[in-house]
Chains A and B, each alone.
Chain A
């Protein structure tokens, strides 16, 4: 056991846990940010995606201790049901989610993409989304929503 200090969603938080505990368990169980989901625990599906220093990062394998001193953002930090971020709002309006298990991770990746550029190329969009799997087949709606976000961003 060791005290691990993390910076999550703009706050300093700490937890006493075994040093090898992957980040996702700390975020979900100790800090109650349940947006990131366990899908494979193998860095294959993207359900556990969060942002670390602005970069989409799978949280299911690497230990929380590795992220000390980094800025961690989870989907909860971008908005809430009453006041969603522009990206979340467009995703909701386009009804992109079916079961929604993959969605929070995708929101993280797309948020990061649009912070870097207002006009991502189709290639960049697909590269970003390719780190995510979805089983319900919501892909086409997510792609359409992302294209719409790009249009809105240009205007």
Chain B
């Protein structure tokens, strides 16, 4: 059986490829397109391997029982999982089809060539298409992982500029988002939430309910879960407001307002030594933190902090569901249809056969945002009002105050260099809440759904166990590629923190890389060695060296010399197993202590590139999103609830602070795909903080780097 997770679950060619439509190839995948253009990349791989025009290939939107179960679309794994599977499946298919064509044309295989979906006898006009051969080949056989794939020198489709699948529809308003679904007999729904997590519905004015019901509005109450549904969407919007005024909530506990970073270090926690390979150990004792002797070494201590961040999708989460009394259909824009189905079947004691879940795109999700919860909410409502299709939309307020955030982090680093300017000791203790409360099949997934805690038969809030896999959540990218004596890396999984958290793009890597790479710069400065040379002095990995050297070269060439301009760099290989990414930034700081980004340089080695534009867009988008986190964002809250409920109270980056992007991809045809979707974030944060140091002389260690924190740091000196 294949060691590859996707192929071991779905070994047969027919589970990936469907030639049943004349002139068309349909790909099945368990990975969903959340704006990262995975559908385009998969179609390009298939087009290349089979020599079928890109336009003749379509990619299905994942549906349970119809498409492969590839778990979540997450962790920059889509290319390594689905990309690999499709490549091997199409190469195997090509082989089988060519064999059959040779047999039928009575000619040896080496006299055949394939182009435009036709298998042709060279120098003749004899040919057969895949579709003509369809009925004679058997695709119900296993994908051959050792199959000869196309020679990279023969590539003619991949790694060129293509217009992504769906792009023309997006431009013209014709792309169907989940929010756009329309069915006969559909009701629009809205939720009415309590003021914050720890509340119970005490009273609901019955007069308001009967008035609403007279206006043909459905009011759904199940324990402390409240929702409304109506034929007209705006009626539902208004009804939700009325219900929210008619509801009285009992507050069981307020949100703790104590400084979050004090809570991170003081609260109950599980601590683990993180061993080589970035794996938390259950056996290794955590060594005492010692300091190197002062005569031989320079030691620097620093604490780096990031607040809670939101996914803050531009489109609030939505879900759609239809229940006919027995079977349930669900449409979701989440990142895993199978785990969501597991949560639903568990919560409502339904059998798998009676629940189908299909992906339909929504706005970008960037991890575990409200999408799963919104789908679950739609299911609750649909089960209360069978026979209607329920299209539920969260509001901006719902999204901002109920999504599971990316945890705040506190990173304490103590590091030393010796007289030769080499790192002689490194200790990094990272503290954070969990980054994984997604529903997981087989692990009580229903308890991971927000509204399950408010139903009549409420489920307890789950406590996520620490992730122990290499580069899991909190400790992701704690370990660096730099050569040094064994570092003291400690993961602290902290409990009893005030806000709900889960997976936000890069999990702990963003905070850890920010801390690591800021400290590297501080050390380089003490050693009086420029930041490039200092890093290169500690690297043996050729590909890492190449991206850094390339960055150095392009920054020297391109950045105009300007007294005021600060420059900084950051580097990491995401999870030490995905793409290598080095980032440079130039910026200035205004009189009002606002940061203006001028140039951003991204150099990335993502292995073989399939969809050139897609990789660039992911890197640039990743940079911009991380710049936004770094400069502007923090979830504000007080004891009575979340304060950051709109775009004024949760500002994000805008068009007037977008740097000129310079993106360079180091080509490696034939090398394995390395996921690039998340590689830019950590290095971007570090590059910005290092450039700020260069521009202002201030070491900024607490995000966001907005005018308040910069002023504060300046006053502290």
Partner of B654, one of A25, A81, A130: A130
B233 at interface, CB cutoff 8 A:
yes
Residue of A nearest to B623 (CB): A137
A interface, by DSSP: helix, strand, loop or mixed? loop
Assembled-state Cα–Cα distance A28/B180 (Å):
8
B666 at interface, CB cutoff 8 A:
no
B164 at interface, CB cutoff 8 A:
yes
Q: Is the CB of A75 within 8 A of B172?
A: yes
Residue of B nearest to A134 (CB): B314
Q: Is the CB of B232 within 8 A of A137?
A: no
Within 8 A of B (CB), among A105-155: 107, 126, 129-130, 132-143
Q: Is the CB of B362 within 8 A of A101?
A: yes
Partner of B393, one of A21, A38, A136: A38
- In the bound complex, residues from chain A placing their C-beta under 8 Å from that of B311 are 135
Partner of A75, one of B173, B235, B658: B173
Q: Is the CB of B316 within 8 A of A129?
A: no
B35, B171, B628, B656 interface centre (most CB from chain A within 10 Å): B171
Assembled-state Cα–Cα distance A99/B174 (Å):
13
Residue of A nearest to B235 (CB): A18
Q: Is the CB of B362 within 8 A of A78?
A: no
Given contacts A74-B173, A135-B366, contact A40 B624 (CB under 8 A): no
Assembled-state Cα–Cα distance A65/B566 (Å):
52
Q: How far is the CB of A81 from chain B (nearest CB, A)?
A: 4
Q: Is the CB of B35 within 8 A of A136?
A: yes
Given contacts A41-B396, A47-B314, A103-B170, contact A93 B620 (CB under 8 A): no
Given contacts A74-B173, A100-B175, A104-B173, contact A135 B312 (CB under 8 A): yes
B36, B188, B361, B624 interface centre (most CB from chain A within 10 Å): B624
A55 at interface, CB cutoff 8 A:
no
Assembled-state Cα–Cα distance A5/B359 (Å):
37
Per-residue 0/1 for A27-65: is the Cβ within 8 Å of any B Cβ (1 yes, 0 no)?
A: 011001111111111101101000000000000000000
Given contacts A37-B315, A78-B172, contact A99 B361 (CB under 8 A): yes
Q: How far is the CB of A62 from chain B (nearest CB, A)?
A: 13
Q: Is the CB of B315 within 8 A of A47?
A: yes
Q: Is the CB of B647 within 8 A of A45?
A: yes
Interface residue total, chain A, C-beta cutoff 8 A: 61
Q: Is the CB of A140 within 8 A of B658?
A: yes
A69 at interface, CB cutoff 8 A:
no
Q: Is the CB of B395 within 8 A of A137?
A: no
Q: Is the CB of A135 within 8 A of B364?
A: yes
A4 at interface, CB cutoff 8 A:
no
Q: Is the CB of B163 within 8 A of A88?
A: no
Partner of B314, one of A22, A80, A126, A133: A133
Q: Is the CB of B179 within 8 A of A38?
A: yes
B163, B167, B176, B311 interface centre (most CB from chain A within 10 Å): B167
B286 at interface, CB cutoff 8 A:
no
Q: Is the CB of A91 within 8 A of B171?
A: yes
Partner of A99, one of B35, B614, B647: B35
Q: How far is the CB of A104 from chain B (nearest CB, A)?
A: 5
Q: Is the CB of A84 within 8 A of B620?
A: no
B169 at interface, CB cutoff 8 A:
yes
- In the bound complex, residues from chain B placing their C-beta under 8 Å from that of A22 are 234
Q: Is the CB of B617 within 8 A of A141?
A: yes
Q: How far is the CB of B510 from chain A (nearest CB, A)?
A: 14
- In the bound complex, residues from chain B placing their C-beta under 8 Å from that of A143 are 655, 658
- In the bound complex, residues from chain A placing their C-beta under 8 Å from that of B648 are 44
Interface residue total, chain B, C-beta cutoff 8 A: 64
Q: Is the CB of A141 within 8 A of B172?
A: no
Q: Is the CB of B396 within 8 A of A40?
A: yes
Assembled-state Cα–Cα distance A145/B21 (Å):
36
Per-residue 0/1 for B145-177: is the Cβ within 8 Å of any A Cβ (1 yes, 0 no)?
A: 000000000000000010110111111111111
Per-residue 0/1 for B653-677: is the Cβ within 8 Å of any A Cβ (1 yes, 0 no)?
A: 1111011110000000000000000
- In the bound complex, residues from chain B placing their C-beta under 8 Å from that of A89 are 171
Assembled-state Cα–Cα distance A134/B179 (Å):
17
Q: Is the CB of A135 within 8 A of B314?
A: yes
Q: Is the CB of B35 within 8 A of A95?
A: no
Q: Is the CB of B620 within 8 A of A37?
A: no
- In the bound complex, residues from chain A placing their C-beta under 8 Å from that of B188 are 29
B652 at interface, CB cutoff 8 A:
yes
Given contacts A37-B177, A39-B315, A141-B620, contact A25 B234 (CB under 8 A): yes
Residue of A nearest to B620 (CB): A140
Assembled-state Cα–Cα distance A20/B235 (Å):
10
Residue of B nearest to A47 (CB): B314
A92 at interface, CB cutoff 8 A:
yes
Per-residue 0/1 for B600-623: is the Cβ within 8 Å of any A Cβ (1 yes, 0 no)?
A: 000000000000011001001111
- In the bound complex, residues from chain A placing their C-beta under 8 Å from that of B655 are 126, 129-130, 132, 139, 142-143
Q: Is the CB of A84 within 8 A of B168?
A: yes
- In the bound complex, residues from chain B placing their C-beta under 8 Å from that of A93 are 163
Q: Is the CB of A25 within 8 A of B232?
A: yes
Q: How far is the CB of B441 from chain A (nearest CB, A)?
A: 26
B313 at interface, CB cutoff 8 A:
yes
Q: Is the CB of B174 within 8 A of A138?
A: no
- In the bound complex, residues from chain A placing their C-beta under 8 Å from that of B661 are 140
- In the bound complex, residues from chain A placing their C-beta under 8 Å from that of B37 are 98
Q: Is the CB of A100 within 8 A of B166?
A: yes
Q: Is the CB of A138 within 8 A of B621?
A: yes
- In the bound complex, residues from chain A placing their C-beta under 8 Å from that of B614 are 95
Assembled-state Cα–Cα distance A39/B399 (Å):
10
Assembled-state Cα–Cα distance A9/B188 (Å):
26
Q: Is the CB of B173 within 8 A of A76?
A: yes
Q: Is the CB of A88 within 8 A of B171?
A: yes
Per-residue 0/1 for B628-665: is the Cβ within 8 Å of any A Cβ (1 yes, 0 no)?
A: 10000000000000000011100011111011110000
Q: Is the CB of A29 within 8 A of B232?
A: yes
Given contacts A45-B647, A130-B656, contact A100 B617 (CB under 8 A): no
Partner of B395, one of A41, A101, A134: A41
B363 at interface, CB cutoff 8 A:
yes
Q: How far is the CB of B678 from chain A (nearest CB, A)?
A: 12
Q: Is the CB of A76 within 8 A of B646?
A: no
B34 at interface, CB cutoff 8 A:
yes
Partner of A76, one of B174, B182, B235: B174
B14 at interface, CB cutoff 8 A:
no
- In the bound complex, residues from chain A placing their C-beta under 8 Å from that of B129 are none
B427 at interface, CB cutoff 8 A:
no
Q: Is the CB of A136 within 8 A of B621?
A: yes
Q: Is the CB of B314 within 8 A of A101?
A: yes
- Given A79-B172, A134-B314, A137-B623, 7 additional A-B pairs, CB 8 A: A34-B176, A37-B179, A80-B172, A100-B166, A107-B171, A139-B655, A140-B624
A-B CB contact pairs (8 Å), 7 listed: A17-B232, A34-B173, A38-B316, A81-B174, A100-B35, A101-B362, A135-B366
- Counting from the closest, the 6 A-B pairs by CB-CB distance are A35-B173, A137-B624, A99-B35, A137-B621, A101-B363, A100-B170
